[in-house]
Amino acid sequence: MKIALLNPPHKFRVSRSSRWPEHTKSGTLYYPFWLAHATGVIQETNHDPLLLDSIANGWGFQKTIKNLDRFNPDLLVLETSTPTLISDLKFAQEYKNEIGGKVAIVGTHVSALPEETLRLTDAVDFVFRNEFDYTTPELAGVIEKKGKLRDVQGISYKQDGRIINNPNRKIIQDLDALPFVSPVYNEFLNIQDYRYALARHPMIQIKSSRGCPNACTFCNVPQTFTYRKYKTRSPNNFVTELEWVNDNLPNVKEIFIEDDTFTINKQRVLDICRLIKNKNLDLTWSANARADVPLKVLKTMKDAGCRMLIIGYESGNQKILNNVNKGINLNQANEFTKNAKKAGIRIFGCFMIGLPGDTKKTIEETFQFAKKLSPDMIQIEQAVPFPGTEFYTWCKDNGYLITEDYENWLDKNGQLSAIVSYPELSDGKIKKMRDDLTMRFYTSPRIILRTVMNNLTPSEFERLANASMAYLSYLVKKRLS
């Protein structure tokens, strides 16, 4: 059976596989790594896969359908996200009208709301809930052999006017059994198309683990896709893929370890770093981490090629952190940041405003905390309650959501809207504070001087220049719109 896996077209360059699916201010575009993982699994079966990325290719609806028609798939697997859902369903309908064939839709949003999704359209035949690496070829086999749909775990579908939710598919435990994703990228995608503003270009995104055991109420993927189950690849398996990238993709300048939290198991991190050194791999890499990594581990990471860590500090007020079950205190965050600087690792600090309990005062405390920590880069965003998260349920139950119309989740510039409004902190005020605080941080003479001095090497200057030009372009378009 021919199976097309598609990152569908959209009017904005949205990274659907990102935790923050929007048209970024800095030009970031994620790899469609969930689709790519499933493609790799399909390649090991008797089915024929094609992975297409309409966002990276700049294709609209018709050009995408034309390319799909050439392949003539029996099954189309379509990735979606909350802010792109309505557009993606429109594409599914247009595809169905012009080509036909079975359509499945995947992603965190539909994993959280499978029945609602199926009620919105007749163009979608199946919803794949959570991980779909094995779901895809299994369903294809059942369709091909005219088997029983009820035997396929992890899918939802309509039957005789009713919506059927088959039992959940068990979370994949043996990640080493999955094929490497980087050869899939190399075969189907152009690595030059993908960019992470904090990473050197071109970069590649690889996972060493899936899931996160921490209990943050706002975090989307662990709650809707992996159910906070944490499982890892063995250090040898993961480093062997790093070695493959090193040998086969010499143009890649940075590897981004796209785990929810790479540093959960500190001993495993040390083992990975030891293997990188033992294999004499000259790599530059970055990762998502928590602000609880000790100095000894940070130094070992730096020695093995770690360039930058992305840290979700979220708030500078301990009560707010407790409200969202962050599990980190301000003293830990402060100590970690000092240690990261001692180790020579750069820090990208992520902060959220509009979390439960936030006020103008606590948001200012967050800004002052960001200044005190002084990460190399920061991101200040409004808190967004994605469906399926505890934060979403809390906002909905308390009447703080200003819209449940997914077409309103992106603003006219393609950025995620502020869709939460509190009695003492409106959505408009949250948006204004977000933009004002970001400008206050980056226009500080001390920050400007430090940024220039820390990015004088050719590779860092190129990265900074690209991100800065993208951000300036965003500001110009925003002012003109």
Strand arrangement, sheet containing 306-314 = 203-206, 254-257, 285-289, 306-314, 346-353, 377-382
More confident residue, 451 or 407: 407
Predicted confidence band of residue 460 (pLDDT cuts 50, 70, 90): low
Predicted confidence band of residue 432 (pLDDT cuts 50, 70, 90): very high
**Residue 295 contacts residue 345 (beta carbons within 8 Å):** no
**The pLDDT value given to residue 227:** 84
CA torsion sign for 241, 242, 248, 249 is positive
Quick one: tokens of 215?
A: 């209990």
Domain extents for the chain? Answer: 2-165, 196-480
* CB atoms near residue 381 (< 10 Å): 18
Predicted confidence band of residue 17 (pLDDT cuts 50, 70, 90): very high
**The pLDDT value given to residue 461:** 57
Per-residue pLDDT tens over the stretch 94-111 = 999 999 999 999 999 999
**The pLDDT value given to residue 456:** 58
The helix (H) or strand (E) run that includes residue 206 is: strand 203-206
**The pLDDT value given to residue 478:** 56
Predicted confidence band of residue 198 (pLDDT cuts 50, 70, 90): confident
* CA 26 to centroid of chain Cα atoms: 15
Per-residue pLDDT tens over the stretch 56-77 = 999 999 999 999 999 999 999 9
Helices 330-343 + 295-303 axis angle, to 10 = 40
**The pLDDT value given to residue 129:** 97
Q: In this model, does residue 457 exceed pLDDT 90?
A: no
CATH of 2-165, one of 3.40.50.2300, 3.30.1360.120, 3.90.1210.10, 3.40.640.10: 3.40.50.2300
Instruction: Tell which phi-psi region holds residue 130, choosing left (phi > 0), alpha (psi between -120 and 50) or beta.
Output: left
Burial letters 68-93, b for 16+ CB under 10 A, else e: beebebbbbbbbbbbbbbbbbbebbe
**The pLDDT value given to residue 25:** 73
**The pLDDT value given to residue 27:** 84
**The pLDDT value given to residue 471:** 55
**Mean pLDDT score of the chain, rounded to an integer?**
93
Topology of the domain covering 196-480 = pyruvate-formate lyase- activating enzyme (3.80.30)
**The pLDDT value given to residue 466:** 62
More confident residue, 30 or 462: 30
* Range 243-265 average pLDDT: 97
Inter-CA distances, 69 with 1, 99, 330, 422, 452, Å: 15, 7, 55, 48, 49
Q: In this model, does residue 463 exceed pLDDT 60?
A: no
- Return the DSSP state at 141: H
Q: In this model, does residue 316 exceed pLDDT 70?
A: yes
Per-residue pLDDT tens over the stretch 206-230 = 999 999 999 999 999 999 998 889 9
**Residue 125 contacts residue 103 (beta carbons within 8 Å):** yes
What 3-state class would DSSP assign to 350?
Answer: strand
Q: In this model, does residue 438 exceed pLDDT 70?
A: yes
